[in-house]
Amino acid sequence: MTSPVTERPIRTLLIANRGEIAVRIAEVCRELGIRSVAIYSEPDREMPHVRAADVAIPIGGRTPTESYLDAAKVLAAAVRSGADAVHPGYGFLSENPDFAQAVSEAGLVWVGPTPESMRAMALKVQARRIAESAGVPIVPGAELDGHVSDSALLAAGESVGFPLLVKASAGGGGRGMRIVSTAGELVEAVESAQREAGSAFGDSTVFLERYLTGARHIEVQVFGDQQGNVLHVGERECSVQRRHQKVIEESPSPGVTEAVREHMLEAAVSLAKSIGYVGAGTVEFVVIGEGGSQDFYFLEMNTRLQVEHPVTELTYDVPLIEWQLRVAAGEALLVEQAELQPDGYSLEARLYAEDPSQGHAPGSGRVTRMEIPEVRVDAGVESGSEISTYYDPMIAKVIWSAPTRDAAALGLARALRAAVLHGPVTNRDMVVAVLESDDFLAGHTTTAFLDEHPELLDPQVPAARRALHLCAVVIAAAHEARELVADEPAASTAFAPSGWRNVRAVPEARTFAGGDEQVTVAYERLRDGVWRVGTTSSPVELIGAAEIEWLEVPVRASAARDAQGDVVVDLESGERIFARVIRSDDGLITVHDGLWNSRLHDVSRFAGEAADDVADGSATPVPGTITVVAVAVGDHVTAGQTLVVLEAMKMEHRIVAAIDGVVTAVRVEVGQAVDAHEVVVTVEGET
């Protein structure tokens, strides 16, 4: 017989996290009448989660280790604030049983599973053992001792078979994980994964696991209360990933058979019951095969709320964070398993500040404009927010529900197309291309989806629409210079408007950089509201001799400023669009027409030649901190050899030699902070 549970109502909740999950928890607290307390590091002083809570407490530091991973600081903030409960969100300390224990010993309510349950599942190695003893099929793998020799490591790799995964035993989110195709890559992959795992989770333990190709990544949402009740809230598919981190999640899965679904759901609940699980958790599986030959294997259990929990909330109409708070306070679940039935389909896309065309390199900088249509948006940044190099580069989660999967996918794609994003490069266009692709809509999704569809990584604006965007930019510039007015030209610009030249036969022109190319746009006002616009690859100073490719149809255009102060250009040339032109002080221009977006940079016509004295050097792709310097002056290196390892946004970036040669300069040291595009090592080619 289950012992009675004493209820402890939560009055004040400290949110031990940042970003969109902290904002979301604060919103739920407001709905329930609970006072919320935020914590923040130095880079996060002005972030939305600080204002979303009723009270905010600084904990100092810049890196995760100095701030949100410092258990003593977080617990001290909870006590100082008068909180009677702590919600860890996900990531950081959310799966740290020692922190959960410390919270409970301080007399506060821990919003999560018991420390004992967390310890049972916190380390993937131990979780595999528990699952195997419970009869749940597991992926073939091998455990590693802390100081395994290279020969023993290679023997373990051969026993597992290649390709394989090196995986961190602690944590998740794709950190501390490496795909290894051959034995020759194994030692370096293990060392790299150990460094990353130690930095991100404070535990450098890794293990080996067979890499199953052509697999789906499926996870089951489980939930338990203190009275011993455990149920599932269906499954989510999270197969579309990059760097082992999820990009698109959905519920229900489009590719799991009913037989496998039923067995997975049962296995997840059975595993949760075996460890007396309380609160929200996720049991993750890989599914391989199709039809009657389909099978599944246990991967791990996440003893916390997942990033992608909104798709379950919308598909099953359940408030998971509210459930977490009520169960932590001692209330029983008031729903039966049979009542939890999916209604339609929900999909979530994660918007990241990263460039998919450059290996998903994370970005940073100010989000000067962010407007996403009326869909569910869980965001940790807003217009004016700064994307820091210290934390994950996720901007927001955008979620859409519909009666059918096609409608949900295409509706989400349309909402993302309509979003206005000005600032760092994002993965928005890639996500839209995935959602609209035939294979995705057909449900042909595996963890190799993006590898098999590289054309989706960098979709291009159609040429005709790109030409109109260029028109919009120069006409917006003319409007800003008072060349284009509804009435009479201003006296100050009537004689010599901006860009005016005293050679009548030569049109005005501006040069822009877009991606890896530069284009010069020539334009002439034929009469009020009608323009002739063309493009050329020649620079502005040579445009008189250039062959300009004029648009076949003159452009009808008018322009006006909107409520945000941006210029909106009404363009008609074969087709009609309304293009919003957004500028920032650093020369970035975003053109947004509701369906397509172009990013351009102004190129000064008077810019001198840049110094190129370090052109033979290897440079940093993003800002970050140097963690490894693998070479010294005088070393002979080969193309592709690792020179320096950079840690940025919780990920490692290897900076490699571009050529065979000799190291002539090492410009950084371990622990040094560096900016993007900073040369770290110079290599001189051997003659």
Largest pairwise CA distance in the chain: 95
Classified as helix, coil or strand, 36 is strand
**Secondary structure element (H or E) that encloses residue 457, with its range:** none
Q: 367: burial class by Cβ within 10 Å (0-12, 13-18, 19+)?
A: buried
Residues 6+ apart with CB under 8 A from 161: 140, 210
Give residue 526's identity as a one-letter amino acid code: L
Residues 6+ apart with CB under 8 A from 576: 570
CA–CA gap between residue 287 and residue 308 (Å, rounded): 19
Residue 561 corresponds to which tokens in the numbers above? 């400023």
CA–CA gap between residue 457 and residue 427 (Å, rounded): 8
Strands 651-656, 642-648: pairing is: antiparallel
Cα 503 to the chain's mean position, in Å?
A: 50
CA–CA gap between residue 212 and residue 193 (Å, rounded): 19
DSSP letters for 500-567: --S-TTSPEEEEEEETTEEEEEEEEEEETTEEEEEEESS-GGGGGGS--EE-SSPEEEEEEE-TTS-E
CA–CA gap between residue 485 and residue 627 (Å, rounded): 56
Cα 680 to the chain's mean position, in Å?
A: 27
CA–CA gap between residue 286 and residue 527 (Å, rounded): 64
CA–CA gap between residue 82 and residue 64 (Å, rounded): 24
Give residue 75's identity as a one-letter amino acid code: L
Q: 7: burial class by Cβ within 10 Å (0-12, 13-18, 19+)?
A: exposed
599 is catalytic: no
Scanning 41-96, the segments in alpha helix (DSSP H) are 48-52, 71-81
CA–CA gap between residue 584 and residue 423 (Å, rounded): 8
**Which candidate in 35, 128, 242, 304 is catalytic?**
304
CA–CA gap between residue 604 and residue 609 (Å, rounded): 11
Q: Point out the residues that are catalytic.
A: 304
